[in-house]
């Protein structure tokens, strides 16, 4: 296997997921607003896809490589969850969302969507603030990049899908699609406040893509680690799965319910339908 080609392929896969975030801004090219119902359904679809990919893809692959008790896999899951918890703590401490801590309104702030990007910094082109935000995004987006890189660990081995002269694991293709779909509602969440500030359409796309820039880098680093230390691959699978599942439960679902609180039933039906659709799309692919 051409090592340079393998690393380049993994980087491009991460870049694809990064660029997919920009798709979240595209609805504003044709409409002035996106309905709450569709927003909730999209978050649900992303949640279902990521849960299926994590459970039936990453964890299943990790268990297949485990002999005896899955201690290494479980340790990976725990570390993945811990990384997301730490990254969220950093986000809250730095308050890069542009919110003011105003005492009586703190309880309202707890329920506001967290886009991880200060719209005023984007609108005003505040270079210093954008640099700070990018640093925080590196921590926040790293687990998603890791999931991509880990899924490519067995590239070049028999049983892969022929792709541009490389034997690419089916799981890698599925994870790339899954994270790309997951990035679309994130891009939409970032674009909504920018739309309210009359930021240009292409600048909204740029801001959305900017929020996922760390993913290609994280993918390459994770791929390098698991190919160098193949025995730790179950840990890598567990790490990526733990981080993804925790993100879904603590960010995607609350984001969906926040978007749907004005709907009949508070958006639970739309969320559930989206999750079911996500599973229906991904599970058959993971068991090909």
pLDDT in tens, 234-250: 998 999 899 889 988 98
pLDDT in tens, 49-70: 999 999 998 999 899 888 888 8
**Mean pLDDT along residues 30-47:** 87
**Mean pLDDT along residues 15-41:** 89
Helix axes 3-23, 214-228, angle to 10 degrees: 150
**CA–CA distance, 156 with 147 (Å, rounded to integer):** 18
Structural domain spans, the chain: 3-286
Contact 129, 123 (CB under 8 A): no
Q: Which band of pLDDT confidence, cut at 50, 70 and 90, is reported for residue 132?
A: low
Is residue 101 scored above 50 in pLDDT?
A: no
Is residue 89 scored above 90 in pLDDT?
A: no
Task: For residue 163, list its beta bridge partners.
Answer: 166
**CA–CA distance, 215 with 152 (Å, rounded to integer):** 14
For 159, phi and psi rounded to 5 degrees?
Answer: 95, -5
Is residue 9 scored above 80 in pLDDT?
A: yes
């Amino acid at each position: 296997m051409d090592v340079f080609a393998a690393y380049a392929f993994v980087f491009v896969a991460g870049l694809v997921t990064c660029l997919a975030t920009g798709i979240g801004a595209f609805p504003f090219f044709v409409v002035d607003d996106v309905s709450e119902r569709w927003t909730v359904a999209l978050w649900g679809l992303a949640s279902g896809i990521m849960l299926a990919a994590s459970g039936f893809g990453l964890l299943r692959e990790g268990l297949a490589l485990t002999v005896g008790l899955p201690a290494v896999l479980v340790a990976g899951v725990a570390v993945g969850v811990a990384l997301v918890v730490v990254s969220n703590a950093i986000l809250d401490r730095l308050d890069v969302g542009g919110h003011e801590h105003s005492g009586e309104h703190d309880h309202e702030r707890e329920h506001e969507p967290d886009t991880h990007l200060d719209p005023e910094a984007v609108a005003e082109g505040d270079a210093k603030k954008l640099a700070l935000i990018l640093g925080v995004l590196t921590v926040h987006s790293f687990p998603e990049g890791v999931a991509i890189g880990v899924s490519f660990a067995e590239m070049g081995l028999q049983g892969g899908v022929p792709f541009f002269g490389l034997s690419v694991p089916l799981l890698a293709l599925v994870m790339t699609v899954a994270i790309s779909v997951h990035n679309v509602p994130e891009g939409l969440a970032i674009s909504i406040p920018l739309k309210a500030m009359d930021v240009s359409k292409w600048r909204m796309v740029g801001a959305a893509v900017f929020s996922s820039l760390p993913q290609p880098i994280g993918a390459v680093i994770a791929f390098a680690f698991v190919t160098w230390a193949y025995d730790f691959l179950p840990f890598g699978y567990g790490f990526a799965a733990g981080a993804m599942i925790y993100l879904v439960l603590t960010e995607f679902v609350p984001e969906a319910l926040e978007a749907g609180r004005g709907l009949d039933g508070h958006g639970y039906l739309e969320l559930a339908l989206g999750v079911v659709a996500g599973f229906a799309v991904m599970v058959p692919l993971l068991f090909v």
